[in-house]
Amino acid sequence: MASVHTFQPPGLTVTLSLGHKYRGWYLLFAHAHPFLTTREVARLDAPAPRRARSRSRRRTAHSGWSPRPRFWFDPHARSGWEAESDSESETLLDLLLALDLHHQPLFAVVDHDFQQSRAPISTSKVEVLVPEHQLAHYCEGCGRWELAGDDALRWYMVRNSDALPGYLCPSCHTKDWLGARLLRSLHRILSYAIC
């Protein structure tokens, strides 16, 4: 039984992990801290650029397919730890791709899109290299994230019909009844409408 994959960005003492809830991807603190109200550092995903959406419609079913999840990384996602300089600033994706060699890589960049506007924006599509069983799971019942290092209490997959599976923590899994399932489904449908 594997634990949640954790990592430390270069030059930082904080331990982080990666997870998803519903269709969103998040950078998380790997452990709960008493002075923080949430473990979420930043939401990482963004809607696909218009040109990328039209390109994906033209592709065949076999071109570019991978069993690993992929998403467009939000170029505006920030953690507050990115390096700033006068000439250019480091993005959160740059920071996460620059992990030390002793860390398992988190992402592979599989596509780019460049949007011309007042401030040109380069967006990257990434493939998640961390296996599903090593991601931090979000409980659809109580809204808590799985903690790193807690091997004894692995969470239960309750849904695998969407692109990303849904989970329940052990205590919510014991209380899982028809009413709770209906509420989770309604919450999931409403969260998709907002995304």
Q: Which tokens is 70 given?
A: 């992929």
Low-confidence ranges of the chain (pLDDT < 50): 1, 54, 57-63
Whether the predicted model's global pTM rises above the 0.85 cut: no
| Cα angle value 107/82/132 (rounded, 5°) | 25
Cα dihedral across residues 55, 162, 39, 195: positive or negative: positive
Question: What is the rounded distance in angstroms from the CA atom of residue 27 to the CA atom of residue 41?
Answer: 5
Tokens 């695998």 — which residue? Answer: 160
Q: Cβ distance 139 to 168 under 8 Å?
A: yes
Beta strand ranges found along the chain (DSSP E): 16-21, 24-29, 40-43, 45-46, 70-73, 107-115, 121-128, 136-137, 156-159, 166-168
Q: What pLDDT is recorded for position 79?
A: 87
Q: Give the pLDDT confidence of 1-12 residue by residue, as tens digits.
A: 458 889 888 778
Q: What pLDDT is recorded for position 57?
A: 44
